[in-house]
């Protein structure tokens, strides 16, 4: 754990070409995920799917409002 803090302090991310911070975070996540029960894993997957769907819906709504604004602006511009 101390080497992780030292790497963050120095912003020294690679040891022998391997990003040890990424590797360590991935290992911690894998250890945590493997400790979950099947029900917890299923709830986590449902949460991820809901979050992804919400993100897609918000992006779609933002694009739709942008297109509506651009059509409104283009209809107000005089034709040359």
- Mean pLDDT to the nearest integer, 74-80: 71
Question: How many angstroms separate the CA atoms of 16 and 14, rounded?
Answer: 6
**Helix runs in the chain, H state only:** 2-10, 20-34, 38-76
pTM of the entire structure? 0.60
pLDDT at site 55: 98
Tell me the C-alpha distance between 5 and 28, whole Å: 15
Q: What is the DSSP string of 61-72?
A: HHHHHHHHHHHH
**Of 32, 35, 11, nearest in space to 21 by CA:** 11
- The residue with greater pLDDT, 59 or 22, is 59
In tens, the pLDDT along 24-62 reads: 999 999 999 999 999 999 999 999 999 999 999 999 999
- Contact criterion met (CB below 8 Å) for 45 and 33: no
At residue 39, the pLDDT reads: 97
């Amino acid at each position: 754990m101390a080497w992780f803090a030292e790497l963050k302090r120095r912003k020294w991310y690679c040891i022998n070409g391997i990003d040890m911070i990424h590797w360590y975070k991935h290992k911690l996540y894998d250890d945590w995920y493997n400790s979950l029960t099947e029900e917890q894993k299923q709830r986590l997957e449902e949460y991820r799917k809901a979050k992804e769907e919400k993100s897609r819906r918000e992006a779609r709504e933002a694009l739709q409002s942008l297109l509506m604004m651009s059509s409104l602006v283009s209809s107000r511009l005089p034709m040359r």
